[in-house]
Structure formats: structure tokens, C-alpha cells
Copies of this chain bind each other. A is one copy, B any other.
Amino acid sequence: MRGPDRLELSGERFGVVYHLTGTEDEARTKAADLCVEQTVEFPADLLPAGDIPDHIVGRVESFERVDERRFEALVSFAVEVAGGELTQLLNVIFGNVSIKPGVRVERLNLSPAILGLFGGPRYGREGLRELLNVPSRPLVCTAVKPMGLDVAELAELAHQFALGGVDLIKDDHGIADQSFCRFDERVTRCAEAVRRANQMTGGHTLYLPNVTAPVNELARRTQVAKRVGAGGLLVSPGLIGFDTMRDLAGDDAVDLPIMSHPALLGSFTVHPSAGFSHFALYGQLMRLAGADACIFPNYGGRFSFSESDCRAIAAGCAEPMGAIRASLPTPAGGMSLERVPEMCAFYGNEMVLLIGGDLHRQGASLSDACRRFVEIAERADTRSAPTTSPGPF
């Protein structure tokens, strides 16, 4: 029997906190407009009375001033509007209003019915630490690059990195399936090189090939990666879509940890009054979409993220989100061994240190440079006694 609610809605709503720029009147108008724009997208005065204006249209739950020209509105939506899927959830959160100036998604307040739709990171912090047999210190990662080296050269790099005991070796995100370095051969050879090194050292280094690829090629590359023994996947959701990454993360036949790369996503955070907050994009959204570790540009590197942006990302990676596991912030972009102690002090142990080019500057063999990298991360372990041993190397 149908109750007074013709649409049979549960009554559960989820929230999105928006920052709105302008005068108070302008911001209030923006908040009211987006309730319509993100749902019915129809003249409010022409809506039939009842469920649609009462339940389907978004609702401004609170409105506060943040500063002179910035206001914060919490808008709620019926969970059913998101249709049980990430694509439509993104659409409700920021589909049309992304096109309006002065609207930024600050934070997602997702309700149990929404959080329950998503598996999130398959491994998360603890799972990845278990795979790597690294219970406490910050994790250590480097990248196979530059583009233009041939397969044998890249595999030799991977071998040296793994001999040096780094935890994670990822492909550079620009290495795809170029004619001068084919995916299948490269991933096969790099995975084999890492396996050989692990056998020699007794280590657990994982190799994460870049599987970002056309949609009709993605499954095949992922299967190749899995078959030849890759230990994880590098994925750029900006290039293949957030939902595609979610699908990969949830695939039991793949069953590999995912490191996300921010390629093409810069426009979402480059303007402080548009797009997404760093917290929402690199913390909450990447976790919904299944990233176990999330690469972003660290403050003080080649990019322009601030310390406060980076602190927000770290918080978003750990923010309670129902059963969705915490992810590992992976600050990168021109980092150096010198900065490791400072970065560890800033982020704490729950992070991945990602250093590429600087390992090639150490005047030592690459495997020695990697050993030094791991050693510095061990010494920075804030959970160990201050006089901890520097480790086996």
C-alpha cells in the first residue's frame, strides 16, 4: 500500500557542504538555486505540489558566514536521488553547479545508505601494510621513469629499486602503451625484475603498473598486470572516470591495491572558490572511488598546494566514512630525501613517501639510494622509540 509519500522514499538524506562566494544575498540565492539545479532542474513554480518539492528538491539545512564574501551551506538530498550509483551521486553533488562560478564542494556528509553502496579501498592502510610487512613506519615509494627508456632499462630500474627495499614501485603516470615501450612487455619484465629482487632480499616490494587506458583496453591490461604478478595498480581517475576506478577496486578477480594519480584533476582545485576542496576530492571522493593510496602534489614542490591544503587531504584520507577504509596520503611532485623527516613530522606515519627524480641525484647506486630512503623513513617512525635502530641496511 502506498503511503502519503507516493515515491516511497526512506526519509534518509545525505548532505553536501558547499562554500558559496558573494554577498550574503547572492550566496543565499545560490544555495536555494542549487537545491533545484542539482535535482529537478525545472522551474520551481511549475513543479507539481507534493513529493517533488517536498522531498526530491534539495534542502538548505544550514547557512553560515565563513568570512566577508564566503558562506557555507549544508544542503541535503534524499538518498534515492543518487540512484544507488557513483555516477549519479557525483551528478547530484556537483553536476550542473560545477558550471556556476563561486560554488565549491567543501565536504560530503554521506549517510549510511550512500556509504553502504561503495566498497571503498580494498586494502586500505592496514591491508597495504600487511601486504608489505611494514607495520609502522611511513611507506616508501618510487617511480619507474622517464618515458623514453626502453623496456629493459625500465625493468633494470625496477630491479634496483626493489633491491634497495622500497615498498612500492609505480610506473610513471605518463608511461602507457607507447610504441617505444609496449605495456605487455614492460609490465611483464618489470614485475619479473621486482620478483627476482624480492627473492634475493626476502623483501615484499610491490610493482604498480599504470593501467590507465581506453575503456576497451583497460580490462585486458589489468588482466595482464595481474597475470604477470603486479602487486598493485596505478590509476588516473581523471582520465578514466572515478566510477571506472571504483569498478576496478571492487573487482574480486583483480584484487589488487590501487594508487590514484591526480592527472587532469587539477582544474577541480586550482581555484579556491570553485571545484572541490582538497579534503573532499583527494580524501573523501578518492576513497569512495576505491583508492588505497592517493597521490597529490605536496606543498613546497613543483606545484602550488599549501600546507593547509595538504593537511586537509591527510584529514580526508582518515575521516570516518562508515566501513570505508582510510587511505594513505601520498604527497609527491619534486620531493627529495632531504625533506623526508619534515614530511614525516607533518603527516605522521600514515603516509606514502613518493620520491622519483631525487633518488637519481644521490651520487650512489640506485639501490643504495633506496636503502637510504627506507632508512630515513624508519628513523622518522614516530611510533618507535626515539633511539630506534636504523634497520637492516
- Residue positions of A touching B, CB distance < 8 A: 6-9, 33, 37-43, 46-47, 51-52, 55-56, 80-81, 83-88, 90-92, 94-101, 145-150, 172-174, 176-180, 212-217, 236, 238-241, 243-244, 246-247, 262-271, 274-276, 297, 302-304, 356-358, 360-361
Contacts and interface: CB of A to CB of B under 8 A. Distances in A.
10 smallest CB-CB distances across A and B, nearest first, come from A98-B266, A241-B241, A99-B266, A95-B263, A40-B146, A52-B148, A42-B146, A56-B148, A7-B180, A83-B176
B356 A42 contact: yes
Given A87-B213, A174-B40, A241-B215, A303 B9 contact: no
B46 A360 contact: yes
Nearest to A42: B146
Contacts of A40: 145-148, 172, 174
A92 B88 CA distance: 28
A333 to B, nearest CB: 8
Given A46-B360, A101-B270, A271-B271, A236 B91 contact: yes
Contact of A147 (B39, B148, B212): B39
13 contacts: A6-B150, A9-B180, A39-B146, A42-B356, A47-B146, A52-B146, A56-B147, A83-B178, A91-B174, A95-B236, A96-B266, A99-B303, A100-B304
B217 A215 contact: no
Nearest to A87: B239
Contact of A172 (B41, B150, B271, B361): B41
B87 A214 contact: yes
Contacts of A38: 174
B357 A90 contact: no
A139 B371 CA distance: 65
Given A88-B178, A95-B264, 9 more contacts: A43-B361, A46-B360, A83-B176, A83-B178, A87-B212, A91-B173, A91-B239, A101-B270, A240-B241
Given A41-B146, A177-B84, A263 B98 contact: yes
Nearest to A54: B148
A216 B84 CA distance: 13
Given A239-B241, A240-B241, A241-B241, A46 B180 contact: no
Select the residue from A95, A217, A236, A361 with max chain B CB neighbours within 10 A: A95
Contacts of A215: 215, 241, 243-244, 247
B80 A174 contact: no
A39 B180 CA distance: 14
Contact of A214 (B43, B86, B176, B240): B86
A241 to B, nearest CB: 3
A184 B216 CA distance: 24
A56 B179 CA distance: 12
Nearest to A250: B216
Contacts of A7: 148, 180
A100 B42 contact: no
